[in-house]
A and B are shown apart, each in its own frame.
Chain A
Amino acid sequence: MSSAKRLEIVDSERCVGCQLCMYACERRFGDAGFARSAILVRSVGGVERGFTVIVCRACRDPPCAKVCPTGALTPRSGGGVNLNPSKCIGCGFCVESCPIGAVFWNYEANKPIICTYCGYCAEFCPHGVLRLGEVRGE
């Protein structure tokens, strides 16, 4: 059994919408903001109803890799995908294929933003919403 890492949403009801995870993801590149963030926190139809946290769940059989026409996205051993940007032509099929909306878009590079399962975002989640865990067997 592989021990590939992935991000787990422990309990989205604990989310207060601070978006520190989104900022952390951009800070991987040393910058501030959201342009290259692979995670999104948005309200469920108004903040009073709480929040949805959208991040790649590292599927075993990822649809984004299946629709990639150039082999830029390939399944990662144990779950999820790897992106080879040099092969990517920016068609955006991956974005459309992901039913949970976890493939984001880098408009500057015209390529998808793919979670690398590094867990930096979880380190800055102050309220126990996110955790770096292992991909479990299906």
Chain B
Amino acid sequence: MNPTDPLSRVLYIDLEHRRFWTRDRRDLFEEWLGGTGVAIQLLKEELPKDADPLSPKNVIVFAVGPLTATYPFGSKTVAVFRSPLTGNLGESHAGGRSATSIRLAGYGAIVIKGASDTPIYLVVDESGVYFRDASALWGITSTLTVGRILREATLGQGYRSIMRIGKAGEKLVRYAAVMTETYRHFGRLGLGAVFGSKKLKAIVIRGGGSVPIYDKRGYREVYKQVFELAVKSDLMKKYHDLGTPMNVLPLNRIGALPTRNLTSARFDGAEKISGERIAGEKLGRRLACSNCPIACIHLAALKEPYPDEPYFYKTTFISYDYEPIYALGTMLGISDIDGLLKLLDVVEIYGLDAMSTGVCLAWATEALQKGIISRRETIVDLRWGDFENYIKAAVNIVDQPNEFYEVLARGVEKASERYGGREFALSFGGNEMPGYHTGYGAHIGFLIGSRHSHLDCAGYSLDQKLKEPLPPRELVERLIEEESWRQILSSLVACFFARGIYKPEMVVKALKTLGYDYDVDGLKDLGRKIYEEKQRLKHELGFKPEALKPPERVLETESPHGTLNIEYFDEALRAYRETLSRIISQG
């Protein structure tokens, strides 16, 4: 790497003693690139293996990489921590401006340790950290309000990022999110609850500096190539036009759109909440992450009349994407656009992860229908499509007015262990299911992916490309190979949507201008090494691969590859466990 690149500076923050220091960790950045690669190493160093996720011993690492702020799509921050939802490795990525702000404040990673005894927020800039009292911000209902206050209270408009939690994080909902720039999220696996447990309400990061480039002429040229590929080819256009909700109709058409707690894979109301329909009727604005020419963030403008005065309206901007439409729309049988948007808005305001919330509410609805639980538990009547009651239930997950909602705030696995209905609790390794019932690739991917996310290895995409399922062992190999390459993307850190642009050859070329000497094979090897490091860390944190199994519901509802059978899963999981034991014994 370029010896003058500040990427290797790591900022350590101790919340308990309100101290901070920086260390040059060229050793880590030389070996592991940045992002996920470095974050895993920092977590390994700092996290006591017996740390309870919600205790002061848990550690949060944010990391960026060489492509951050230097190349288009280098716009993602990687967060790793111990997840309060699964108890194991938590990893979550967010766009917005946090990555470029961290990088341009002169850091490659931020390590947060300990806990504060009173609410605080942090302001981070190139000179270090300011610890500020957040007592007045604690308990504010809306994360949007918190953002508005911090925008006024801190400097650096245009050069900063404001990460914050909502009430869900304060109340330790195990799938609470951290939002950044209002509409982007560290959504999955409960980083918001870890913030809450540390009484950390927000982090403002201000970064207006620059990164010295190793080969300046080459840099300008390669930047332009990437830019032109992005704006002049079709590689990225779909993300701009309709954005991720373009998936609603195609998935529905092939029968892969999980609906009403996956009792079906087709939704009769899909047309009404499709990407085309929402863009046509409601799209109000598009936004981009810093240094991204595409602008995939779609905001719907919801105009609502006030009931108490004629011709008096409020207009709310609500971010929508495929996964929230799946989890809070099709999974709950909601086909009313305005109702769906109102529910999305409440989930945003309270700082819940949209996907986990939707899956939990879908399970609760079916459990209520089946009489496993009653209105005594749910308080409100949960019925498919009844968005008004779902809004009340989402607020109840945060406020936790009874034991049922306290348990539901721990995730669908815990709730089904306590109340029953495990066969239709859509949990994979303790994480709620993503929105794809495309076949074996998707579901085995959710099970074996390091963070039990569809983004780990994109099995949903493989399913859609293949006419016939691969043999189980071959499928597992393909998924692990994809996940290994994605370790490079998330160490650079490049947005996965740009994976069609950042093919290995392009990554080699871009890295060369930044003073890195990799070839394609070297990068792929590093990807595998990072993947293996992650598996070893998961093992040390107590991961039990033998406990993984698909929810029964997945085997009941037909997929585009027909009814999925358990023998296939068993064989694939056996192959996966064998790979894991080999990795662990080599460690």
| Residues of A bordering B, CB below 8 Å | 16-20, 22-23, 26-27, 29-36, 40-43, 45-48, 50, 124, 126-127
Contacts and interface: CB of A to CB of B under 8 A. Distances in A.
Interface residues of B, number: 43
Given A16-B295, A47-B182, A127-B295, A30 B216 contact: yes
A68 to B, nearest CB: 24
A20 B285 CA distance: 18
B104 A43 contact: no
B297 to A, nearest CB: 8
B295 A35 contact: no
B216 A20 contact: no
B213 A32 contact: yes
Contacts of A124: 227, 293
B182 A27 contact: no
Contact of B285 (A35, A45, A48): A48
B220 A19 contact: no
B210 A32 contact: yes
Contacts of B144: 46
18 contacts: A16-B286, A17-B288, A18-B288, A18-B295, A19-B290, A20-B291, A23-B69, A31-B210, A31-B212, A31-B216, A32-B69, A32-B210, A33-B210, A34-B210, A35-B208, A41-B158, A46-B151, A47-B182
B299 interface: yes
Contacts of A34: 104, 159, 208-210
B585 interface: no
A47 B181 contact: yes
B191 to A, nearest CB: 21
Max chain B Cβ within 10 angstroms of own Cβ: one of A17, A34, A40, A42: A17
Contacts of B286: 16
Contacts of B12: none
A126 B293 contact: yes
Contacts of A18: 288-293, 295
Interface string B195-230: 000000000000011111100110110010001001
B183 A47 contact: yes
B211 A31 contact: yes
A27 B183 contact: no
B275 interface: no
- Can you list the 10 inter-chain pairs with the closest CB atoms, starting with the nearest? A30-B216, A33-B210, A42-B158, A18-B288, A48-B317, A35-B210, A16-B295, A126-B293, A32-B70, A32-B211
Interface string B140-156: 00001001100100000
Contacts of B69: 23, 32-33
